[in-house]
Structure 1
Amino acid sequence: MTTAFSPSASPSASKLPPHAGDGPSALTAAVEKIPTTVFPSAAVASQSVAAEIADLIRTKSARGETAVLGLATGSTPTRVYDELIRMHREEGLSFKNVVTFNLDEYYPMKPDELQSYVRFMREHLFDHIDIPRGNWNVPDGTLPREQVFDYCAAYERKIKDLGGLDIQILGIGRTGHVGFNEPGSSRDSRTRMITLDKVTRMDAASDFFGEQNVPRKAITMGVDTIMNARRVILMAWGEGKAPTIRRAVEGEVTTAVAASFLQQHASAKIVLDTAAAAELTRFKTPWVLGSLSDFGLTWDRKTTRKAVIWLATTLKKPLLKLTDEDYNEHGLQELIASRGSAYELNIEVFKEMQATITGWPGGKEANENGAAAYHAPGMFQHANAGIFPKRVVLFSPHPDDDVISMGGTFIRLCDQEHEVHVAYQTSGNIAVFDEAALRHADFVREFAAAFGLTDQIVQTMEDRLESFIRNKQPGQVDSPELQKIKGLIRRTEARAGAVSAGIKDDDRIHFLDMPFYETGRVRKKPIGEDDIKVIVDLLEKVKPHQIYAAGDLSDPHGTHRVCLAAILEAVKRLKNRDWMKTCEVWLYRGAWQEWGVDQIEMAVPLSPDEVSRKRIAIFKHESQKDKALFPGSDSREFWQRAEDRNRATAEAYDALGLAEYEAIEGFVRWKEEPI
């Protein structure tokens, strides 16, 4: 059974202004050159897009006409396809009058391969609806090279003969590409073979189990083909897409960002979740566009803090050195007028930032004088302030996110004698090199031989592994035995990392192996009730006062997003429990990005010694050391990323005029919002 949870929302995002679901206001229209609609979550946004497609199909059907759809692949449109399937099954939406054309396909690529977009579309849509087999079209990745040119011309003619595309849906790549129209693609380009950009190949590496296995070419619709659609809808979810979205929506039209050509389309729109919209001016710095009241916003604590830190960062000044003139000259006249003077405003934000810093993330035990000695973590009053020691559950999506992203705080909580439980949500088994699995199998064989143990079974297993790996094709799913060995490697590394961080009781190390993950592929199953149950059961058992979870939603593989959705759903289901009423949920980042200093609500400073101890805990994950199988777009090792980000956070605090630390781990407190 699958659920309708949306792991695409940003739990840290600000509440949307009233107009946000209706596209830009008159104030933002001059900045946003493509009509842009922002929804609270990717699930809600996807439902809206699916409803628009369904309306077109029904309208065309009623007229006896064919609906011609341009479709996309990747993680972005999958929820749209899920909703269309639901409408087909529950509302009788028929696709018998629909013809589809997909944007692209890798070349060469057989239609039954794991990475094939033919296979993707069948798994995510075509096999679940009543569209006739001859009515869906995906570029053919099996053609001889000399036939590709004529095939592409025929693909264009077929679209034209049907009257053109009624709706084209798009995602957007990190380079700003739509389809596979990489930087440099011209406005007049048509369906053709192209060479993939290195960034695109890096981003696709996880699907192919290594960049070296990613095809170097693809067949794609051109920019002109897309622009000839009567309606174009580009969707994007998550913080990782935010900078590219800003370039496409607010930047100049340029071949460097193919999506920017949509500024010239008469009926194009952008559909975003709050995270993907974060870099747009109306969300990042709305005060430069006019009065906040025009956006349905007020100068509340959060907006004030964000604006003042933005001003200090822009001017490279400490908070307490900002002047009235600084505010007036940078669009913040309204703010300074509401507070009277820069002096008062500076002190207010400075104290608030100072209050985020704590060396006691779980709180401090009261001395003989009572609760007055207690130092609560973060900048808020806490329902569990008088409880010490606390029971803590630290959720780690992969077996190393705990020590990478909050290893210093993990160590601090253990050192300060809280009851810390660490829960590894997935096995992480796909992220282990085949060679590492063989090395561990060889160790077991040598171990058996050294102690005179019966090793025939071990030898047989090792032979089978060697045979499988020797004949394994790029991207092929590992055999069950190989998946198991890789999972055990990650499990033993995770246990070593947790012990290094300070866990002394093995009963406090939990391996949840959430079912959604166990496909042997980068592409996972939808989150289901079994996934929620393992989280609920653990929380019911521990009854924590604090929960730490990964809010690092730019994870390119989507695992963090799904894992967080499962945690927050479990928290919501348990919210009426007595113990849950005093439980706090803190979100950490670090593996893929970091919280901005204007977002941080608890800042845990690390000493040089704690930074070193954190690094040692990360090094326990030997299979991820030196070179990870799925490093994403960042070439640094995970320990380097973490240290650089923690150091940068500390430097940002220092630049604002606060205390200077070696490193800082930042956290945001989760408040119940749509997920």
Structure 2
Amino acid sequence: MSRLNLLEETRFEKLPVKVYPNQDIASKKVAERIATLIKAKQKLGEKTILGLATGATPVGVYKELIRFHKEEGLSFENVITFNLDEYYPMKPNAAQSYVAFMNEQLFNHINIKRENINIPNGTLRENEVADFCLEYERKISLYGGLDLQILGIGRTGHIGFNEPGSAPNSGTRLVTLDDLTRRDASRDFGGKENVPTKAITMGVGTIFKAREIILMAWNQKKAAIVKKAVEGEISSSVPATFLQLSDHVEFILDEDAASELTRFDTPWLVRDCLWSPKIIKKAVIWLAEKCDKPILKLTEEDYNNNGMAQLATEKGPVYNLNIDVFNKLQHTITGWPGGKPNSDDSQRPERANPSKKSSIIFSPHPDDDVISMGGTFIRLADQGHDVHVAYQTSGNTAVWDEEALRFMEFNIDFAKALQQDSSKLEATYEQMKKFLQTKSPNQPDIPELLTVKGLIRKGEATAGARFAGLDDKNIHFMALPFYDRLKLSSKVEFEDDIVQTMELLQKVKPHQVFAAGDFEDPHGTHKVCFNIILNALQRLKETEEWVKDCWLWLYRGAWHEFEIHEIQMAVPLSPQEVKRKRLAIFKHQSQKDLPVFPGDDAREFWVRAEERTSETARAYDKLGLAEYEAMEAFVRWEF
């Protein structure tokens, strides 16, 4: 691409951005730059002064630096590091401390001198913090400043812990953490209430003094804030926008994190497009939403006034474009998610044959099935398909401790009512109570407690699936091992999870597989569960003939919904079906009112589900299609 074309494509971007296909490739590129810098400084007999970050973003970079050290002999003896931040107060040996993080992810695996490691001290008395911060700044200056600072970006737009409101010339200091930042950290601390409210952080001004700054961001969760940081106006409400003032900064992104930048999201606004059917559909829907018009009422003037004259000229007339996109949307709507028997299926999202399909709904947590596709679940069962549901994890993390004790108390009283020996139950109950009295935040539960919590979720899921119309023989509780392993270590193998999934798939031999495609799940379980299913199907495809006729549908809903242009099957729900879905969700009583991990959305899960599906229905209606009470949306995954 010529320099002129590149400038045109990136004209909305106010700082340099480099995009890689995925975070693994991007992390390796950043690590290579760091390694090159260290080697160049070594040749000159100089120290390399690095500013380091914590969190999930730089983990791949550190992994590659360790590989450079172990396999290629990269030495860190001349490296001095300064970490961006640390929670306050925080003991260095706490599992959530950034000292522990850096040791585990990098320092314990390379030959850096311990005296060359600098991390803000979270154990100071508050009246000592100001002097410490001044000394931290002085020490950085003593070494001539940072050669390279790596950064992540928080969803508030923070860099380091410089939250909204931070000044562009701020130095190292004690700050108060934003509520969203604390919510994002809640899983590591066993709940937001356990996350420190303060932190010590390098300031924006300190970061700015680095001779080179690399900000990294991965996955869809960061896309919205990345767009603000790269294309938005400079504002203290998004501290990362201050980086637009630097001549030495570069954003390194994967494709998901870059997806909302104008050149990727609405490319017709920055350059001439190659108008594929997919791009045309997205562009016309975007135009209708922007003009607040039904698709069939869009005019040539609408196209010309909103950056889409090229489309009108090359693929017009515009009315034909409108009709084509309208029809494509119309054909996504079906009341027969398993296919309509004995009908022409050429314009339908699902096949007509076989008329009775075997379907399996994979639910990462024990309630994702009814929350995200409860109406479709019920519809499939009502229409006579052989529907199975597979609960991939026990969900035992997301049950309140008090709820587990209450169930134990019920069992003890029930045993006594039947005049049975309750001594073992009472002993286990006392063991659980004793553990909970001294349980520290984020401490893994003892096996007995996990068992009770898992049984609570299992009972609720069974009630929900029965309500949807399933026999017990079609309800499968997988309790995949990775779920409990991840509570103890981030380094987990998934082979037995994949094998177990393959066994279930071979038993059911489904024509349809429904899987959670909502990778916005804040704890990552949905993505792991999807990857397990995908691996299982890909392996089976090599030897099993039935897999060639198996379609994989993704659903969302609990955390995030598909965009209208992405939807390939939209299942409309009547008011009565919405009510039935709500009652199925209500079977999950442990998740009612206030679940343990609610994420960003303060609404109850059933409220989220109803409002999001009604929003999808309203979006179809505004585009000029039929008006329904609600719609559940699906995208087909080609594997």
TM-score w.r.t. the length of structure 1 is: 0.90
> SS of the counterpart of 1:331?
coil
Displacement of 1:223: 0.5
Percent pairwise identity:
55
Higher mean Cα deviation, 328-337 or 488-497?
488-497
Aligned to 1:575: 541
Letter in 2 for 1:529: E
State the alpha-carbon separation in 2 of the partners of residues 516 and 122 from structure 1. Answer: 25
Displacement of 1:273: 2.2
Aligned to 1:497: 464
Aligned to 1:350: 326
CA 1:494/1:167 → structure 2, altered by over 3 Å: closer, same or farther?
Answer: farther
Structure 1 residues 100-131: Cα deviation after superposition (integer angstroms, max 9, x where no partner): 22211111111122221112222222223333
State the alpha-carbon separation in 2 of the partners of residues 286 and 221 from structure 1. Answer: 37
User: Could you tell me which of 356, 360, 368 is aligned with 1:401?
Assistant: 368
Asked if residue 445 in structure 1 is aligned to residue 412 in structure 2, the reply is yes
Aligned to 1:4: none
Aligned to 1:95: 76
Displacement of 1:302: 0.6
User: Could you tell me which of 502, 518, 521 is aligned with 1:552?
Assistant: 518
Aligned to 1:33: 14
> SS of the counterpart of 1:431?
coil
Query: Are 2:482 and 2:492, in contact at CA under 8 Å, matched by a contact in 1?
Result: no
Asked if residue 606 in structure 1 is aligned to residue 573 in structure 2, the reply is yes
Displacement of 1:23: 13
Higher mean Cα deviation, 208-217 or 122-131?
122-131
- Which residues in structure 2 correspond to 1:97-176 (within 5 Å)? 97-176=78-157
State the alpha-carbon separation in 1 of the partners of residues 4 and 556 from structure 2. Answer: 30
- Which residues in structure 2 correspond to 1:70-81 (within 5 Å)? 70-81=51-62
- Which residues in structure 2 correspond to 1:636-647 (within 5 Å)? 636-647=603-614
Displacement of 1:517: 4.3
State the alpha-carbon separation in 2 of the partners of residues 469 and 573 from structure 1. Answer: 43
CA 1:399/1:128 → structure 2, altered by over 3 Å: closer, same or farther?
Answer: farther
Letter in 1 for 2:529: C
Displacement of 1:153: 1.5
State the alpha-carbon separation in 2 of the partners of residues 335 and 289 from structure 1. Answer: 13
- Which residues in structure 2 correspond to 1:595-674 (within 5 Å)? 595-672=562-639
CA 1:102/1:667 → structure 2, altered by over 3 Å: closer, same or farther?
Answer: same
State the alpha-carbon separation in 1 of the partners of residues 521 and 158 from structure 2. Answer: 19
Aligned to 1:337: 313
Aligned to 1:9: none
Structure 1 residues 290-317: Cα deviation after superposition (integer angstroms, max 9, x where no partner): 312xxxxx11111000010011001111
User: Could you tell me which of 496, 501, 521 is aligned with 1:535?
Assistant: 501
Asked if residue 414 in structure 1 is aligned to residue 381 in structure 2, the reply is yes
Asked if residue 587 in structure 1 is aligned to residue 554 in structure 2, the reply is yes
Aligned to 1:207: 188
CA-atom RMSD, angstroms? 2.2
User: Could you tell me which of 303, 306, 322 is aligned with 2:282?
Assistant: 306
Higher mean Cα deviation, 63-72 or 437-446?
63-72
State the alpha-carbon separation in 2 of the partners of residues 473 and 495 from structure 1. Answer: 32
Query: Are 1:319 and 1:657, in contact at CA under 8 Å, matched by a contact in 2?
Result: yes
Displacement of 1:385: 5.0
State the alpha-carbon separation in 2 of the partners of residues 506 and 67 from structure 1. Answer: 63
Aligned to 1:328: 304
Query: Are 1:238 and 1:554, in contact at CA under 8 Å, matched by a contact in 2?
Result: no
Aligned to 1:268: 249
Aligned to 1:3: none
Query: Are 2:554 and 2:636, in contact at CA under 8 Å, matched by a contact in 1?
Result: yes
> SS of the counterpart of 1:610?
helix
Higher mean Cα deviation, 68-77 or 646-655?
68-77
Aligned to 2:397: 430
Structure 1 residues 522-557: Cα deviation after superposition (integer angstroms, max 9, x where no partner): x84445333333333333333322221111111222
Query: Are 1:23 and 1:36, in contact at CA under 8 Å, matched by a contact in 2?
Result: no
Aligned to 2:353: 386
> SS of the counterpart of 2:541?
coil
Displacement of 1:69: 2.0
State the alpha-carbon separation in 2 of the partners of residues 365 and 551 from structure 1. Answer: 27
- Which residues in structure 2 correspond to 1:11-90 (within 5 Å)? 25-90=6-71
Displacement of 1:158: 2.2
Aligned to 1:5: none
Query: Are 2:360 and 2:513, in contact at CA under 8 Å, matched by a contact in 1?
Result: yes
> SS of the counterpart of 2:185?
helix
State the alpha-carbon separation in 2 of the partners of residues 53 and 492 from structure 1. Answer: 52
State the alpha-carbon separation in 2 of the partners of residues 389 and 135 from structure 1. Answer: 67
Letter in 1 for 2:557: G
State the alpha-carbon separation in 1 of the partners of residues 151 and 104 from structure 2. Answer: 19
State the alpha-carbon separation in 1 of the partners of residues 605 and 509 from structure 2. Answer: 31
User: Could you tell me which of 255, 260, 278 is aligned with 2:236?
Assistant: 255
Displacement of 1:589: 0.9
Letter in 1 for 2:403: A
State the alpha-carbon separation in 1 of the partners of residues 73 and 367 from structure 2. Answer: 45
Higher mean Cα deviation, 355-364 or 43-52?
43-52
Aligned to 1:10: none
Higher mean Cα deviation, 357-366 or 588-597?
357-366
CA 1:29/1:301 → structure 2, altered by over 3 Å: closer, same or farther?
Answer: closer
State the alpha-carbon separation in 1 of the partners of residues 20 and 366 from structure 2. Answer: 32
Higher mean Cα deviation, 646-655 or 542-551?
542-551
Letter in 2 for 1:495: T
Letter in 1 for 2:632: E
Higher mean Cα deviation, 136-145 or 417-426?
417-426
Displacement of 1:244: 1.0
State the alpha-carbon separation in 2 of the partners of residues 394 and 330 from structure 1. Answer: 42
TM-score w.r.t. the length of structure 2 is: 0.95
State the alpha-carbon separation in 2 of the partners of residues 133 and 459 from structure 1. Answer: 50
In structure 2, runs of 5+ residues without a counterpart are none
Asked if residue 317 in structure 1 is aligned to residue 307 in structure 2, the reply is no
State the alpha-carbon separation in 2 of the partners of residues 245 and 525 from structure 1. Answer: 28
State the alpha-carbon separation in 2 of the partners of residues 170 and 570 from structure 1. Answer: 36
Structure 1 residues 115-151: Cα deviation after superposition (integer angstroms, max 9, x where no partner): 2111222222222333333332221111111111111
CA 1:520/1:569 → structure 2, altered by over 3 Å: closer, same or farther?
Answer: same
Displacement of 1:606: 1.0
Aligned to 1:281: 262
CA 1:634/1:248 → structure 2, altered by over 3 Å: closer, same or farther?
Answer: same
> SS of the counterpart of 2:200?
strand
Letter in 2 for 1:546: Q
> SS of the counterpart of 1:470?
helix
> SS of the counterpart of 1:627?
coil
Higher mean Cα deviation, 158-167 or 22-31?
22-31
Structure 1 residues 336-358: Cα deviation after superposition (integer angstroms, max 9, x where no partner): 11223121111000000001111
Letter in 2 for 1:417: G
State the alpha-carbon separation in 2 of the partners of residues 85 and 543 from structure 1. Answer: 44
State the alpha-carbon separation in 2 of the partners of residues 271 and 23 from structure 1. Answer: 21
Higher mean Cα deviation, 639-648 or 511-520?
511-520
Query: Are 1:438 and 1:462, in contact at CA under 8 Å, matched by a contact in 2?
Result: yes
Greater relative contact order structure (CA < 8 Å, 6+ sep): 1
CA 1:202/1:23 → structure 2, altered by over 3 Å: closer, same or farther?
Answer: farther
Asked if residue 510 in structure 1 is aligned to residue 491 in structure 2, the reply is no
State the alpha-carbon separation in 2 of the partners of residues 495 and 193 from structure 1. Answer: 49
State the alpha-carbon separation in 2 of the partners of residues 386 and 287 from structure 1. Answer: 40
Aligned to 2:529: 563
User: Could you tell me which of 153, 167, 177 is aligned with 1:186?
Assistant: 167
> SS of the counterpart of 2:331?
helix
CA 1:515/1:58 → structure 2, altered by over 3 Å: closer, same or farther?
Answer: same
Displacement of 1:376: 6.9
Letter in 2 for 1:431: A
